[in-house]
């Protein structure tokens, strides 16, 4: 970015906002004090150097970076699988990949994209930015956070090692029993799937708990509920959804499917009184919210980006917050629309049709709000905005086919066909990946301190958006022409060849786009232009600290006087002081009004999260091979927890804040 | 960051890799292959423990599918669809002798079981040579062996989607096979 | 690419024997009306949103210094205007959704009608083939067939669906939407075709290795033709006259074939594989995998695993003469 | 002895029926004051009249001999011998033994004709002739028919043989591999041999033949192997096949002609043996004959029942599946069917109809009628008019929940839909289980008490249908079955049933299924054996246990009695096995609850209670 960066004078109305900390004395901080504090804080907060420090790191930014990096690798892996599948399908009766390999590929592709890429990367974005955006020193539970990452990493490794030794799951990412049950899936392929899902659930739950507590208890003074950035609102909504959705799939996969397979329970055995449909209900009770777990954070990205580049505060903050929450709520009431072809009574189906249509409303509200924001603002067409336009082009299409799919009669025709494949790729790529790329372009400077190349970015954007649409638009027709999904080949007489060829060409274009991005990121990581603290002249607290953000995030906790702190108040922001610099301390504020409440001693680096993740991995992976591993694993896990707990107990310390915190104005 | 990560990632992968190396064979699904050439020789027909002369060694033929979960499960489905289960049930026996216990009348070595299936046995066991392919018989051999735990545990079947009739093979304790003294009720 | 473009146009026309948009019966025709109505409305909305977004983003690309000042406060009247616009748009969305909903319920109700007296056909899903029973109150008139469905035109046919192993899904795109075959459940749907022809159904729920090759040609006959077909289908197989076919019959009965396959009229009662009584009159082999020709049949008998890897039928090593005779025999099974 | 009993009668009400044992003198005295208190006494009193009404059973009886397993043509298993009676049976002791040289289940009855006892063993079907005139009953001759070994592979429920028959100086018996063989009774020389069954079609023969008017009747086993059931008549002198009556297929194969007059509409119609089956299914539809045939010389009809349809899984054979589980009345000369009644149309649970038809003439609701008494596998005690095939009564003689009763108007068994066997669904607690309320084990009828003595089991089951695959010569069943004890927890009963009053008179609980036949004598003693080896004598009127003896192995055979030299003997074969004892006879593994068609699950404790054997025991006072 070459645009000149200018400090804006504090907005009059924002300054006039009432003091959030009654009784606090405004003082001024000299530069020397700030520099000294920064040096002391760096000593206190930085992760230890060396391999040990690397293994014991708990800085939320470090962990989130690893998360994002790993998840993006998974995106590439999933993309390679997709490309292979597109190669196989590019012409009829192709023999490039046989059915056994193909079935593993599409299963691993789906599982990777949903469990190992989309959910982790979306929550990881939250883990990186939520503390920064709410002006916190750190995340609420840094060790839990690290544990979550390592657990997720174990899942990733397990899945891909398995795939390479021909043990990749092969019953679809939905793994419907009885196909995924012990009789029809011998060996351990499906067990791998069930346990990988478990790994990612644990990781997601750890992240969700962290985001919720960080948001509700660690906001900067003054950031009352109605000033929380929409990005954070989206993350919080999703965190709650994770807490309600993930246990469902944990029950289904770990408890029911895995025990059916390992110890011969009969959850899904219709002969002995089990029920194959039970799985589908539980799975989709998780599976449908899952889509929104991926999609809602993306809406948070979009709001930040649209606001920044439209140069206008977003229209309808309250409406968007409510829309977010409504979406999260309704997302749990739609699952049956994945099951319209099953023998479920028609009245029940109708209710879910209605619910599926209703959920279009809150999404519509958000889209309309952004449109109005863009209309009444002064948009700049950066790469990030280009991706946002890609979002409008692609996602709205997918959303509308989604509304069509809510119709039972129509859904029964195109359910499980390439029409649905087209639909959800439009939704997920348009509503998830494109905003994610926009976010990469937007926040890359904050994470690395350097700008991504806009020129390469435009290549990336156009190639990707065009590629995706060329790849998936023809699939609508394929589906309507009768092509079921999850087929490894098709006959020439079906006439599906040319459109498949076209789709493959589209996939190649999209892959090129991603390749351009990888090149861009690789070059810019070390060689991009320096970004400075706030290259886009955006408004959030994350831009109120240097790029990349220091280990302690902020030298002094900023004070928030409006929804758009940097626009409202200008930089530098007022801050509170009084947190100790010689040990890790965070400021805990009240849930609603974010009044300073207490100072918490904050955990330091620890090896226990890694240890615990390892022993729990042993438990889950071992349980595939023998149920006894559960016992052994439980013992080890208990030991791991004990070690972790003892370390925490030793360090436990809470102090109430009375007058320790002060609001000061920066010099 | 990544250079350091490579170190322990590689270690970790290697560990898991070693653990799961056997998976390669276990998870293979060889739909199309030439039937294993290892059709049993006449040694398969030896059912006596008593061999004349010192130091005679009966050559063993490895079961090609003992370690292959898919083939064992195909064997299980053949065991039921080809009516083996009509006489042997799920290994407990009925018309035919039990297959899940430690006693073997005509031998438990893969080639002996192969011969029992292919050539039949005099007391009511039909000869399946002309109704089943060699590959199918080998699949059955491995499934039959799995009934009493003679093949690796990971390749054995879990419960099926039917009535719970017994502990699944995957959880059946391994039996130590031995030859039973005589075929019961051999004709006078 | 030119071929591709040409076919893209063709696809939008969407004629074909496996196409949702080429209805061959009243239920799918009314569904098509719903589809086109929804498609048109959705397209209009999509174009409107995309145009609005692009216009908003591109119309003010010239950036002045002033333009970079963020807009923090919005005049009240403008805010009210914006609120009005958004409220209006949301209202319109709700109205459109309601209309969709009502239309959908109407079509759904029409599709859900249960005709009183109908022909009943049972379809049983197997990995990876279809077993078809033409039900009759007189048990001796029940016809057991496989991998091909015959129905009369102009008369609703009840199809009862069940599965013997995993979940499959029955779907004739030209006639009606799909219905899953779930172990432990029996469900049913009504087929109502009004145009004779051959349509292609295909399993639409992933069911394992050969899910891709589990198709079912659906032959819609005129009413009279159907009656004729049904009585033909009830006829048992006859012992062939010609000697090579008779030898082939022996190969069939004495070899492995009869352990899995049944031929009505012959001492072959296997239920593991499809019933072959009328094999020669079928259009395809291997559940819609190959056209039914002598060459394909030979290839299928000898090496099904290279045609449909994973299929439950084993490869068969037959002497050339036996194979010839067997094919002669199988081709008599009209 | 009488005095002591009187004391007990007065002192212990619960053992009141002991009094009835005491004979008529004391019975009268005791009845007067105790009748009101104990219903069982009242029952005994009510059946009283039946004992005085004479019937045809004695007409053909020569009580010193026992020439066929059921003793007489009517199948009563009643002996007029009175030396051993309810007052002295306690003094029974072993008179002699003989080892059969086999270890599989022994279901046969020893046969005594003249001065020789004949025994046929289970596979390999040895025949022994024991000389009763000499001390220690030495072997007079023995005969080894050498049946094909492979025949063991098509015997569903152990390789049993239910006995031989002696007629006109010949010993006639069947081998497992389907041969009927006639031997010279004096020398053991083979007179003729006829191959009737083909093991490659799953056919085997386990039943005892019956000889009537120079014809030997033999039926086929193999309802679990998809046979097409038949009954064949073989000329007694030449061994030539006289006629074959199939039990499925067109009327001409079933020997249904113009004289066929079934009583109920459901059994009337043309070619029902074809039209009540899916196409071709009748060709492998089971309906063998492996139970008992009885003969009424007055009407000149033979009566027998056909076995279950194949496969067990009813969903694979929609329709009534005629003529499985059916009672047939046929002319013995040409096999022509006179009437038929299907006991269990579209059998859902392997309720074979092979049980015995006991032919008695008795007063039925005021009129004297020619009846069939038939405790049926489906749990109902049927009373037929044997001239017409009308069902006069069908009352359950144990706990039944698979059916709700028999509609006497239509004659149709009413199934409970919730217990119907379905593919892919385990239906739990279906009673009676697959072996029925009573399997092959024959009951006995005493004209003195008017009671039928029924040895039977008390089992329920879980059942699931499977898609059966037919491969000739291999089992064709299509169900998963798991059996266990029925209500009460005991697995067997020995009951006395009053056919006129249609109720149970007394009942003895046995832990194990009572898989042996019954014997009743004019001494008012009923005999039966248990699977753990006890041979028991009970009072025929009260069920009071009188005597028991532990034999070497479990008893699943048919006890009999004969006299020689003016002395009465009781004989029984001991050797556990059969379907119920397969766990011991076949050394099965009880961890598989479906083993032996699910029977193993109910018999897990049998190996601790009984071991294999094969031994004749003869008892005398």
Angle, in degrees to the nearest 10, between helices A608-625 and A142-164: 40
Q: How confident is the model at residue A665 (pLDDT cuts 50, 70, 90)?
A: very low
Q: How would you class A580 by CB atoms within 10 Å of its CB: exposed for 0-12, middle for 13-18, buried for 19 or more? A: middle
pLDDT at A387 over 50: yes
Instruction: Give the span between the Cα atoms of A417 and A479, in whole angstroms.
Output: 5
The CA–CA distances, whole Å, from C163 to A165, A245, C128, D107, D420 equal 32, 30, 11, 43, 19
Task: Name the residue in chain D with its Cα closest to that of A274.
Answer: D425
Picking from B29, B77, B136, the nearest residue to C314 by CB comes out as B136
Cβ contacts of residue D28 below 8 Å, gap of 6+? Answer: none
The CA–CA distances, whole Å, from D345 to A351, D198, D256, D357 equal 45, 27, 18, 18
User: Two tokens at A73?
Assistant: 């690798």
Q: What is the pLDDT of residues A479-495, one digit of tens each?
A: 999 999 999 999 998 99
| DSSP at B158 | -
The CA–CA distances, whole Å, from C237 to C226, C232, C296, D280, D281 equal 19, 10, 22, 11, 14
Average pLDDT, chain A: 89
pLDDT at B27 over 90: no
- Element of type H or E holding A321: helix A317-330
Instruction: Give the span between the Cα atoms of C91 and C89, in whole angstroms.
Output: 5
Picking from C39, C93, C178, the nearest residue to A341 by CB comes out as C178
Structure confidence at residue A346 (pLDDT): 84
Question: Contact, A558 vs A565, CB < 8 A?
Answer: yes
| B77 lies within 8 A of chain C by CB | yes
Residues forming beta bridges with residue B103, ordered by sequence position:
B178
Instruction: Give the span between the Cα atoms of A109 and D530, in whole angstroms.
Output: 65
Question: Contact, D77 vs D570, CB < 8 A?
Answer: no
User: Two tokens at A367?
Assistant: 């889209």
Contact residues on chain B for A625, CB-CB shorter than 8 A: 153-154
The Cα of D479 is separated from the nearest Cα of chain A by a number of Å equal to: 12
Residue B28 to residue A166, Cβ atoms within 8 A: yes
**Of A14 and A231, more confident:** A231
Average pLDDT, chain C: 89
Q: What is the pLDDT of residues A104-136, one digit of tens each?
A: 999 999 999 999 999 999 999 999 999 999 999
Instruction: Give the span between the Cα atoms of D26 and D19, in whole angstroms.
Output: 7
User: Two tokens at B27?
Assistant: 């998870």
Instruction: Give the span between the Cα atoms of A397 and A391, in whole angstroms.
Output: 9
Work out whether strand C215-221 and strand D451-457 pair parallel, antiparallel, or are unpaired.
Answer: unpaired
Instruction: Give the span between the Cα atoms of C35 and A477, in whole angstroms.
Output: 13
Contact residues on chain B for D469, CB-CB shorter than 8 A: 81-83
Picking from A54, A161, A181, the nearest residue to B16 by CB comes out as A161
| C171 lies within 8 A of chain A by CB | yes
Residue A407 to residue C108, Cβ atoms within 8 A: yes
Structure confidence at residue C294 (pLDDT): 95
Give chain B's end-to-end CA distance (angstroms, integer). Answer: 81
Residue numbers of A between 633 and 652 with CB closer than 8 Å to C? none
Superfamily for D16-620?
Quinoprotein alcohol dehydrogenase-like superfamily (2.140.10.10)
Look at residue C40 and give its three-state secondary structure: helix
Q: How confident is the model at residue A12 (pLDDT cuts 50, 70, 90)?
A: very low
Residue C264 to residue D279, Cβ atoms within 8 A: yes
Question: Contact, B28 vs B101, CB < 8 A?
Answer: no
Query: Which residues of D are tagged catalytic?
Result: 224, 308, 350
Measured CA angle at A58 (ends A54, A60), to 5 deg: 120
pLDDT at C12 over 70: no
Structure confidence at residue D6 (pLDDT): 40
Q: How confident is the model at residue A293 (pLDDT cuts 50, 70, 90)?
A: very high
Determine which of A458-467, C174-183, D33-42 has the lowest per-residue pLDDT on average: D33-42
Structure confidence at residue D63 (pLDDT): 83
Question: Contact, A524 vs C32, CB < 8 A?
Answer: no
Closest residue by Cα to residue B91 from D250, D595, D315, C166:
D595
| DSSP at C17 | T
Instruction: Give the span between the Cα atoms of D360 and D342, in whole angstroms.
Output: 21
Contact residues on chain D for A270, CB-CB shorter than 8 A: 424-425
Structure confidence at residue B2 (pLDDT): 47
Structure confidence at residue B10 (pLDDT): 66
Instruction: Give the span between the Cα atoms of D366 and A609, in whole angstroms.
Output: 92
Determine which of A251-265, B102-116, D6-20 has the lowest per-residue pLDDT on average: D6-20
Structure confidence at residue D56 (pLDDT): 34
| DSSP at C237 | P
Task: Name the residue in chain A with its Cα closest to that of B14.
Answer: A161
| B162 lies within 8 A of chain A by CB | yes
**Of B61 and D310, more confident:** D310
pLDDT at C172 over 70: yes
Q: How many Cα neighbours within 13 Å face the side chain of D163? A: 33
Instruction: Give the span between the Cα atoms of C237 and B34, in whole angstroms.
Output: 34
Structure confidence at residue A3 (pLDDT): 32
Closest residue by Cα to residue D340 from D394, D398, D396, D262:
D262
Q: Which candidate in A62, A73, A168, A186 is best for mutational testing of the B interface (most B CBs within 10 A)? A: A186
Q: What is the pLDDT of residues A148-207, one digit of tens each?
A: 999 999 999 999 999 998 899 999 999 999 999 999 999 999 999 999 999 999 999 999
Look at residue D222 and give its three-state secondary structure: coil
Contact residues on chain B for C260, CB-CB shorter than 8 A: 81
Task: Name the residue in chain A with its Cα closest to that of D426.
Answer: A271
| A264 lies within 8 A of chain D by CB | no
Instruction: Give the span between the Cα atoms of A106 and D492, in whole angstroms.
Output: 58
Question: Contact, A576 vs A24, CB < 8 A?
Answer: yes
Look at residue C51 and give its three-state secondary structure: helix
Cβ contacts of residue C174 below 8 Å, gap of 6+? Answer: C17, C18, C19, C20, C22, C23, C24, C25, C28, C193, C199
Mean pLDDT by 10 residues, chain D (621 residues): 40 41 38 39 34 36 86 94 94 95 94 95 95 94 94 92 94 96 96 95 95 95 94 96 96 95 94 94 94 95 95 94 95 95 95 94 92 95 95 96 95 95 93 95 95 96 94 93 95 96 95 96 96 96 96 96 93 95 93 94 95 95 91
pLDDT at A667 over 60: no
Closest residue by Cα to residue C133 from C292, C27, C291, C277:
C277
Picking from B29, B32, B131, the nearest residue to C306 by CB comes out as B32
- Element of type H or E holding D329: strand D326-330
B74-97 core/surface letters (b: 16 or more CB in 10 A; e: else):
bbbbbbbbbbbbbbbbbbbbbbbb
Q: Which candidate in C20, C190, C206 is best for mutational testing of the A interface (most A CBs within 10 A)? A: C206
> If you count residue pairs, one on A and one on D, with CB atoms under 8 Å apart, how many are there?
8
pLDDT at C70 over 60: yes
Instruction: Give the span between the Cα atoms of A288 and A333, in whole angstroms.
Output: 9
Structure confidence at residue D32 (pLDDT): 39
Closest residue by Cα to residue A629 from B19, D514, B180, D113:
B19
Average the pLDDT over A386-397 and give the result.
Answer: 96
| B159 lies within 8 A of chain D by CB | no
Long-range contacts of D94-98 (CB under 8 A, 24+ apart): D94/D549, D94/D617, D94/D618, D94/D619, D95/D569, D95/D618, D95/D619, D95/D620, D96/D136, D96/D137, D96/D616, D96/D617, D96/D618, D97/D615, D97/D616, D97/D617, D97/D618, D98/D128, D98/D130, D98/D137, D98/D139, D98/D615, D98/D616
Contact residues on chain C for A361, CB-CB shorter than 8 A: 90, 93-94, 97
Instruction: Give the span between the Cα atoms of B53 and A501, in whole angstroms.
Output: 71
Cβ contacts of residue B188 below 8 Å, gap of 6+? Answer: D101, D124, D126, D144, D146
For chain A, which chains pass the contact test of at least 3 CB pairs under 8 Å?
B, C, D
For chain C, which chains pass the contact test of at least 3 CB pairs under 8 Å?
A, B, D
pLDDT at A641 over 70: yes
Structure confidence at residue A31 (pLDDT): 80
The CA–CA distances, whole Å, from D35 to A513, D284, D540 equal 102, 56, 19
Residue spans of beta strands (DSSP E) within A23-141: 27-29
Residue B13 to residue A54, Cβ atoms within 8 A: no
The answer to pTM > 0.80 is: yes
| A621 lies within 8 A of chain B by CB | yes
The residue with tokens 């041999």 is: D193
User: Two tokens at A565?
Assistant: 């702190």
pLDDT at A22 over 80: no
User: Two tokens at C260?
Assistant: 């899995």
Closest residue by Cα to residue D522 from D92, D109, D86, D110:
D86
The Cα of C114 is separated from the nearest Cα of chain D by a number of Å equal to: 25
pLDDT at A26 over 50: no
Residues forming beta bridges with residue A42, ordered by sequence position:
none
| A50 lies within 8 A of chain D by CB | no
Instruction: Give the span between the Cα atoms of B93 and D584, in whole angstroms.
Output: 11
User: Two tokens at D475?
Assistant: 């089992």
């Amino acid at each position: 970015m070459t645009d000149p960066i200018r400090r804006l004078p504090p907005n009059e109305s924002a300054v006039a906002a009432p003091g959030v900390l009654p009784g606090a004395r405004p003082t001024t901080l000299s530069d020397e004090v700030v520099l000294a504090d920064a040096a002391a804080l760096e000593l206190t907060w930085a992760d230890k150097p060396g391999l040990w420090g690397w293994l014991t790191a708990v800085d939320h930014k470090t962990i989130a970076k690893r998360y994002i990096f790993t998840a993006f690798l998974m995106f590439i892996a999933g993309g390679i699988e997709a490309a292979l599948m597109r190669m196989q399908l590019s012409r009829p009766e192709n023999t490039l990949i046989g059915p056994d390999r193909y079935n593993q590929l599409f299963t691993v592709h789906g599982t990777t994209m949903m469990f190992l890429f989309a959910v982790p990367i979306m929550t990881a974005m939250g883990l990186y930015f939520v503390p920064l955006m709410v002006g916190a020193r750190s995340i609420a539970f840094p060790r839990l956070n690290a544990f979550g990452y390592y657990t997720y990493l174990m899942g990733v490794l397990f899945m891909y090692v398995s795939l390479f030794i021909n043990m990749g799951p092969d019953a679809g990412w939905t793994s419907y029993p009885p196909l995924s049950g012990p009789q029809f899936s011998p060996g351990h392929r499906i067990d791998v799937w069930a346990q990988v899902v478990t790994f990612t659930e644990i990781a997601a739950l750890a992240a969700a708990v962290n985001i919720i507590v960080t948001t509700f208890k660690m906001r900067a003074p003054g950031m009352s509920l109605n000033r929380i950035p929409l990005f954070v609102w989206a993350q919080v909504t999703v965190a709650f959804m994770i807490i309600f959705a993930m246990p469902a799939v944990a029950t289904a996969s770990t408890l029911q499917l895995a025990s059916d397979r390992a110890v011969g329970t009969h959850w899904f055995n219709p002969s002995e009184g089990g029920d194959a449909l039970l799985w589908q209900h539980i799975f989709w009770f998780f599976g449908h919210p899952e889509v929104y777990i991926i999609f809602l954070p993306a809406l948070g990205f979009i709001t930040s980006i649209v606001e920044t580049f439209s140069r206008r505060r977003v229209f309808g903050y309250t409406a968007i917050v409510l829309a977010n929450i409504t979406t999260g709520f309704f997302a749990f009431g739609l699952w049956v629309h994945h099951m319209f072809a099953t023998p479920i009574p028609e009245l029940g189906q109708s209710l879910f049709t209605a619910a599926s249509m209703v959920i279009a409303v809150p999404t519509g509200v958000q889209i309309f709000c952004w449109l109005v924001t863009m209309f009444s603002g002064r948009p700049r067409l950066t790469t990030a905005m280009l991706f946002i336009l890609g979002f409008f082009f692609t996602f709205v299409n997918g959303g509308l086919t989604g509304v069509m799919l809510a119709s039972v009669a129509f859904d029964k025709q195109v359910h499980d066909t390439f029409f649905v494949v087209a639909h959800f790729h439009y939704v997920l790529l348009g509503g998830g990946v494109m905003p994610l790329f926009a976010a990469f372009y937007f926040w890359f400077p904050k994470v690395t301190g350097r700008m991504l190349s806009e020129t390469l970015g435009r290549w990336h954007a156009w190639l990707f958006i065009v590629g995706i649409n060329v790849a998936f638009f023809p699939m609508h027709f394929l589906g309507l022409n009768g092509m079921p999904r999850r087929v490894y080949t098709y006959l020439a007489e079906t006439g599906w060849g040319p459109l498949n060829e076209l789709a493959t060409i589209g996939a190649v274009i999209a892959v090129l786009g991603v390749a351009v991005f990888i090149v861009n990121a690789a070059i810019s990581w070390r060689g991009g232009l320096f970004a400075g603290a706030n290259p886009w002249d955006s408004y959030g607290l994350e831009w109120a600290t240097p790029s990349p953000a220091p280990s302690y995030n902020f030298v002094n906790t900023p004070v928030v006087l409006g929804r758009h702190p940097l626009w409202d108040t200008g930089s530098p922001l007022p801050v509170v002081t009084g947190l100790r610099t010689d040990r890790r301390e965070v400021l805990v504020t009240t849930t609603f009004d974010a009044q300073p409440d207490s100072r918490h001693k904050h955990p330091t680096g620890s090896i226990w999260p890694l240890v615990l993740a390892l022993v729990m991995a042993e438990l889950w992976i071992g349980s595939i091979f023998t149920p006894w591993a559960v016992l052994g694993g439980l013992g080890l896990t208990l030991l791991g927890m004990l070690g972790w707990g003892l370390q925490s107990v030793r360090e436990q310390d809470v102090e109430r804040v009375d007058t320790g915190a002060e609001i000061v104005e920066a010099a | 960051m990544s250079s350091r990560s490579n170190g322990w990632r590689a270690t970790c992968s290697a560990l898991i890799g070693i653990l799961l190396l056997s998976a390669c064979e276990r998870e293979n699904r060889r739909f199309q292959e030439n039937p294993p050439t290892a059709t049993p020789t006449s040694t398969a027909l030896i059912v006596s423990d008593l061999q004349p002369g010192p130091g005679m060694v009966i050559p063993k033929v490895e079961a090609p599918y003992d370690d292959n979960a898919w083939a064992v499960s195909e064997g299980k489905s053949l065991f039921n669809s080809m009516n083996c289960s009509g006489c042997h049930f799920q290994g407990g026996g009925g018309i035919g002798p039990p297959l899940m216990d430690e006693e073997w009348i005509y031998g438990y070595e893969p080639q002996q079981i192969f011969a029992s299936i292919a050539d039949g046995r005099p007391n009511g066991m039909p000869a399946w040579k002309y109704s089943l392919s060699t590959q199918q018989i080998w699949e059955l051999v491995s499934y039959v062996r799995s009934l009493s735990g003679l093949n690796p545990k990971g390749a054995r079947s879990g419960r099926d989607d039917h009535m719970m009739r017994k502990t699944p093979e995957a959880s059946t304790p391994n039996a130590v096979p031995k030859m039973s003294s005589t075929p019961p009720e051999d004709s006078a | 690419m030119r071929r591709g473009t040409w076919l893209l146009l063709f696809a939008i026309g969407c004629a074909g024997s496996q196409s949702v948009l080429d209805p061959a019966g009243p239920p799918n025709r009314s569904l098509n009306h719903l589809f086109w109505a929804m498609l048109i409305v959705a397209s209009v909305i999509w174009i409107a949103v995309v145009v609005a977004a692009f216009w908003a983003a591109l119309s003010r690309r010239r950036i002045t210094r002033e333009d970079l000042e963020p807009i923090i406060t919005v005049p009240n009247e403008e805010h009210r205007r914006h609120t009005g616009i958004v409220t209006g748009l949301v209202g319109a969305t709700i109205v459109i959704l309601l209309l969709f909903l009502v239309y959908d319920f109407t079509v759904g109700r029409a599709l859900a009608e249960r005709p009183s007296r109908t022909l009943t056909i049972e379809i049983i899903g197997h990995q990876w083939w279809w077993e078809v029973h033409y039900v009759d109150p007189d048990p001796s008139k029940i016809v057991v067939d496989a991998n091909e469905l015959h129905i009369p035109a102009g008369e609703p046919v009840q199809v009862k669906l069940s599965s013997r192993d995993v979940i499959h899904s029955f779907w004739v795109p030209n006639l009606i939407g799909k219905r899953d075959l779930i172990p432990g459940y029996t469900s049913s749907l009504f087929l109502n075709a009004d145009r004779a022809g051959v349509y292609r159904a295909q399993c639409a729920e992933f069911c394992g290795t050969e899910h891709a090759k589990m198709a079912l040609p659906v032959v819609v006959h005129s009413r009279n033709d159907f009656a004729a077909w049904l009585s033909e289908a009830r006829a048992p197989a006859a012992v062939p006259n010609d000697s090579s076919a008779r030898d082939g019959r022996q190969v069939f009965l004495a070899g492995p074939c009869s352990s899995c396959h049944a031929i009505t009229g012959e001492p072959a009662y296997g239920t593991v594989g499809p019933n072959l009584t009328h094999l020669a009159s079928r259009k395809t082999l291997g559940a819609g995998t190959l056209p039914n020709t002598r060459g394909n049949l030979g290839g299928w008998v000898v090496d099904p695993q290279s045609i449909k890897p994973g299929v439950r039928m084993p490869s068969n090593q037959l002497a050339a003469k036996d194979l010839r005779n067997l094919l002669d025999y199988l081709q008599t099974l009209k | 002895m009488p005095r002591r009993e009187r004391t007990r009668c007065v002192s212990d009400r619960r053992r009141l029926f002991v009094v009835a044992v005491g004979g008529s003198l004391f019975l009268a005295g005791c009845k007067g004051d105790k009748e009101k208190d104990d219903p069982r006494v009242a029952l005994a009193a009510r059946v009283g009249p039946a004992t005085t009404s004479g019937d045809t059973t004695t007409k053909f009886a020569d009580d010193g001999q026992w020439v066929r397993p059921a003793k007489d043509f009517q199948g009563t298993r009643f002996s007029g011998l009175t030396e051993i009676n309810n007052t002295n049976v306690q003094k029974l002791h072993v008179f002699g033994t003989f080892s059969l040289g086999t270890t599989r289940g022994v279901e046969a009855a020893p046969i005594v004709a003249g001065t020789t006892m004949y025994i046929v063993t289970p596979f390999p079907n040895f025949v022994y002739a024991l000389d009763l005139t000499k001390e220690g009953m030495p072997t007079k001759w023995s005969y080894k028919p050498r049946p094909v070994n492979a025949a063991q592979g098509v015997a569903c429920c152990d390789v049993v043989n239910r006995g031989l028959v002696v007629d006109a100086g010949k010993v006639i018996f069947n081998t497992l591999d389907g041969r009927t063989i006639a031997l010279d009774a004096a020398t053991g020389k083979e007179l003729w041999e006829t191959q009737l069954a083909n093991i490659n079609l799953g056919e085997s023969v386990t039943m005892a033949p019956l000889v009537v008017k120079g014809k030997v009747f033999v039926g086929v086993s193999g309802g679990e192997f998809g046979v097409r059931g038949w009954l064949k008549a073989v000329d007694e002198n030449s061994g030539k096949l006289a006629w074959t009556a199939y039990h499925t297929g067109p009327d001409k194969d079933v020997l249904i002609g113009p004289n066929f007059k079934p009583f109920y509409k459901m059994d009337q119609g043309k070619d029902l043996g074809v039209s009540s089956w899916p196409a071709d299914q009748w060709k492998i539809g089971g309906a063998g004959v492996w139970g008992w045939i009885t003969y009424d010389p007055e009407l000149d009809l033979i009566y027998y029942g056909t076995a279950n349809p194949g496969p067990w899984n009813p969903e694979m054979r929609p329709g009534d599946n005629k003529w499985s589980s059916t009672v047939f009345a046929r002319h013995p000369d040409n096999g022509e069917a006179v009437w038929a009644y299907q006991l269990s149309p579209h059998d859902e649970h392997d309720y074979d109809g092979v049980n015995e038809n006991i032919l008695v003439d008795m007063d039925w609701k005021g009129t004297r009628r020619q009846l069939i008494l038939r405790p049926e596998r489906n749990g109902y005690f049927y009373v037929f008019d044997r001239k017409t095939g009308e069902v006069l009564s069908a009352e359950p003689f144990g706990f039944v929940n698979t059916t709700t009763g028999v509609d006497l108007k239509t004659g149709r068994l009413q199934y409970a839909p919730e217990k119907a066997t379905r593919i892919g669904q385990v239906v739990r607690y279906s009673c009676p289980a697959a072996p029925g309320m009573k399997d092959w084990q024959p009951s006995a009828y005493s004209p003195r008490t008017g009671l039928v003595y029924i040895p039977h089991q008390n089992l329920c089951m879980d059942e699931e249908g499977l898609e059966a695959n037919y491969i000739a010569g291999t089992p064709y069943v299509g169900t998963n079955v798991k059996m266990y004890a029925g209500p009460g927890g005991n697995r067997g009963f020995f009951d006395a049933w009053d056919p006129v009053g249609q109720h149970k008179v007394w009942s003895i609980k046995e832990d194990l299924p009572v898989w042996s036949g019954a014997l009743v004598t004019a001494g008012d003693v009923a005999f039966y054996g248990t699977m753990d080896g006890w041979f028991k004598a009970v009072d025929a009127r009260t069920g009071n246990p009188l005597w028991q003896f532990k034999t070497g192995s479990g008893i699943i055979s048919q006890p009999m009695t004969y006299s020689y030299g003016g002395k009465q003997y009781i004989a029984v074969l001991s050797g556990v096995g059969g379907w119920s004892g397969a766990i011991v006879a076949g050394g099965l593994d009880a961890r598989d609850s479906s083993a032996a068609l699910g029977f193993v699950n109910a018999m897990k404790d049998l190996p601790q209670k009984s071991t294999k054997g094969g031994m004749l025991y003869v008892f005398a006072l």
